[in-house]
Amino acid sequence: MNNTTSNQNALKIYCDLFGHNYEVSKKVTSHVKEYTCKCCKKQLTTNSNGNLTELTPKYREINRLLEDFYNRRMVYLKNKTFVSQLTNC
Ligand SMILES: [Zn+2]
| 32-87: pLDDT as tens digits | 999 999 999 999 999 989 999 999 999 999 999 999 999 999 998 888 877 777 77
Reported in sequence order, the residue ranges of the chain that DSSP labels E, i.e. its strands, are: 22-27, 33-37, 43-46, 52-54
Going by DSSP bridges, is the β-strand pair 33-37/22-27 parallel, antiparallel, or unpaired? antiparallel
Ligand 1 center–CA 13 separation, angstroms? 9
Ligand 1 center–CA 61 separation, angstroms? 22
Higher pLDDT among residues 24 and 8, named by residue: 24
Ligand 1 center–CA 53 separation, angstroms? 14
Identity of the amino acid at 75? V
